[in-house]
Amino acid sequence: MDDLVKGLINVAFGQGEEDDRNRDERSRSTWAQVVSGEHDDHDESISSSDRHNRHGYNRQEEEEERNEEWRSGESRPTMRPPKAVHQDYDRDDDRRQDNYNQVNWNQKEGKEADDGWETVGKKPVKQHYKAHKDQWKNYKRPLDEQDYSSEVKYDFGIEPSGEELNDLSKALNKLWELDLNRLVPGKDYQIDCGEGKKVYQKEDMAEGSLFSWLSEEIFMRPTFARFCSLLDNYNPHEGYKENVTPEERQEQAAFIEEISRTAPIKYLHRYLSSKGIVSENYQDFKRMMTSLWFDLYGRGGTSGSSSAFEHVFVGEIKQHGEQEVSGFHNWLQFYLEEAKGRVNYQGYILPRRHGSIPDTETQLLTIQFEWDGVLKSVSSTLIGVSPEFEVAIYTLCFYLGREENHVELGPYPVNIKCYRLGNKIGSAFPVADC
């Protein structure tokens, strides 16, 4: 009888311990779902997918144009809840409170909480090379006190042919050939495209970063280094008035001077001057280029708050309605922001038709990402091309193209979209034409 009683007691206590363990396990599982967002994301993705499929929401170009809504000023709801803006970007020339890279988001530069907790479902961080900024301060000096690279020493291929003058696609393809600074996949950098997704899908299909590595030598190339030094001159929040310092103006002019020594920009000048669009005087042409890309104009209801360079290459975050990213079509900006932990790559967008799937060699990508927690549902970018090449093709399309320009760039059929804001570039970006 005593043994029976003891057995019943043990069974009872054993069962109680098992119940406790089950409750603990359920508690831990629920907490993991809350921290990672797995449970809520799953439910929301189903409803989002159903909703968009019912409305035929599967056209990449339409989504891209919705992302460039500066033309209409309307706001499209994002499919992820935006994060609040924690910092003000009021300009102060002395303290540089507007400095996007050095002040406002510096708390996100890899500083981990030292409290023993680890975020569940955190994406693994890959090692990135960060650009040396030592020489950047020299770019703000007066133009005649700066050192530039040598001029292109040959004229072969820089003079547009008659065929190229009559065919914009051939001219743009010629610029691709003249991009001597374009990087080589696998030699200069490595990317990991992850998995593909539809535009309306919100699941993160990339286990890690887009860029696995980038050669340190790239940031020593003159046009690349000068381009990168310009990226931190802007307040990314749309509608905030920019205050450009005299040093930054010198930095802008020095960038134009540097790229004007390259083959793509020399070809661009000869092409436009032969059409009578720009002066044959190269100094006048450089001043025109500085004005076209860096003069401020209004966006988001505030005058002097944006420019072609800021929108196309740096990117902006819309503040009215739901937050969303607009512009941001440059791969160098993407790499640097990803290295700082501000960009979260979500995967590539599947081709609308049965096109080729991107791999490590692909240099025209359509992707989805978050920038400081704000979604860019679809964005196109040319990977590894030089700054002078992008400036050249978008300038050429602005002066001689239409809103949509179906052309070929090397092996890629591309629709280069170029939108105007009066006599300025409102937006310009490539879309895979497949």
Q: 324-362 burial string, b = 16+ CB within 10 Å, else e? A: bbbbbbbbbbbbbbbbbbbbbbbbbbbeeeeeeebeeeb
**Catalytic annotation on 329?**
yes
Q: Rounded to whole angstroms, how far apart are CA atoms 378 and 380?
A: 7
The single-letter DSSP state of residue 79 is S
320 catalytically annotated: no
Active-site residue among 198, 269, 376, 417? 376
With 0-12 / 13-18 / 19 or more C-beta atoms within 10 angstroms meaning exposed / middle / buried, residue 188 is middle
**All residues at 6 or more sequence positions from 220 whose CB lies less than 8 Å from its CB, including other chains:** 132
Task: Report the alpha-carbon distance of residue 284 to residue 277 in Å, rounded.
Answer: 12
Give me the amino acid identity at 290.
Answer: T
- CA angle at residue 174 from 173 to 180, to 5 degrees? 110
Catalytic hit among 174, 198, 266, 311? 311
128 catalytic, yes or no?
no
**Which residue of the set 329, 340, 354, 406 is catalytic?**
329
Q: What share of the chain is helix, strand, coil (3-state, %, to 5)?
A: 40, 15, 40
Query: DSSP assignment, residue 196?
Result: E
Q: Which residues are catalytic, by number?
A: 311, 329, 376
